[in-house]
Amino acid sequence: MKVFGITAPSTGSGKTTITMAFLSLLKNSVSCKIGPDYIDPGLETAVSGTRSYNIDRWIEGRAYERTLSILASSYDYAVVEGVMGLYDSGSPIDLSTNFYFRKFRIPYILVIDCSKTAESTYYIAKGFLGKHCIGVVLNNYGSEKHLHMVRDEFVKHGIRIIGAVPRDQEVVIESRHLGLHTGLETPDVKKKAQQVSKHLDLSFIEELPEIHNNDVPQSRPSSEKGINIWIAYDRAFNFYYASSLDYLENSGTLHYFSPVNGEYPEDPDIVYFGGGYPEIFAEELSRNRKCIEAVQNSSESGIPVIAECGGLMYLENIISTDTGEYRMAGIFPGRVVMSKRLTLSYSKMIAEQNSVMFRKGETVYGHEYHYSTTDDTSPKLLRNIIGRGIDGKFDGLSIKNTQATYSHFSLGRYGKRLIKKAIEQ
């Protein structure tokens, strides 16, 4: 498998768009995203048709080291999109794109937004043109004259130009408070990627070294009982790690349902609500009483129900938005209120009690990314070391075999107890 990376001097430079454009050109390709992101991988999946995998040593632990090697047995190409700027981390350990590119010896392409510069573009890029940089993509140039002004300085210094993409509003993907619109909300995303791909040169591909699968994947849990795992997946809930879905897929039979469209889990052994935008679809979610009743019955019966971020919001009693207050599942008695304050952080916590996923005293690692707060006086599951959680000190709610947290987790790392609980039911 041939692998190359996409990075930039800063966020907002167009990394995701360029990654999608390359995926549209490469058959049997897969994308990976560095860091705890769901939106970019979802868009890239919509283009490639394959799950997009996160590479994140905070979230996954040592398992992150095997991701590319395992993928090499199934794909011919992998495009690895970086997070923020090349050297950005801001974490207790180095979690920058540069760390991962060096760790896996990934040659990379630098994407530079040149919309507000000309000859200076090269000098901005100069500090990012390391020995493993194979070239640049000049993004958002305004005219042919402008492009020549930008390009000439790179040519003069012997830097390979892999692409030059003109400014074009037709290929822009709209944004909202958590980032770009998701792949489910952008039906023309593949067409947009193909449009951008016309400005890219793939001649560098043959020069890339091959990565082979020299690793044996860790054994996955298997159950004698064919457990049914129901996953909420629609415009309201679609933030899931591919590694978590892989883990669940190897543990039972996956069924997807849409709470927004009136669907509900039927005879589940596990119900899983990921993150997303329940606040935008609160009215539709509140109207789907069959789903609410099914989740309530599952929780009351001790069937494992796990919920992360948007899922936590759904399991609370009320979501309050600008358009009104909406009753949700009410597994927990809290009230969710949307906020203009962004909570964005890796999280590190200690389990204060046993739950469907964690043992008391266990240290767990995740991340949180939300614009809501929850007023819930229920006993909390996790004590924060890093992160804000529900009230600044704690995160997580737990009753019977139901668990809801603002933090997102890798089920490949923390799912064994969950599967065991499901088998025991």
Catalytic residues: 309
Q: Phi, psi at residue 270, to the nearest 5°?
A: -145, 140
H or E, element range at 286: helix 282-287
For the chain, the first-to-last Cα distance in angstroms comes to: 42
Separation CA 282–CA 270 (nearest Å) = 23
Residue 54 half-sphere exposure, CB side, CA atoms within 13 Å? 30
The amino acid that residue 301 corresponds to is S
Q: Are strands 228-232 and 253-257 parallel, antiparallel or unpaired?
A: parallel
> Comparing C-alpha atoms, which of 290, 332, 340 is closest to residue 311?
332
Separation CA 390–CA 206 (nearest Å) = 50
348 beta partners: 365, 386
Question: Torsion angle of alpha carbons 174, 177, 178, 179, nearest 10°?
Answer: 30
Separation CA 73–CA 250 (nearest Å) = 17
Number of helices (H), then strands (E), belonging to the chain: the values are: 14, 22
Which whole-number Å values give the CA distances from 412 to 93, 218, 283, 305, 418, in the listed order?
21, 10, 33, 17, 11
CB atoms within 10 A of CB 117: 16
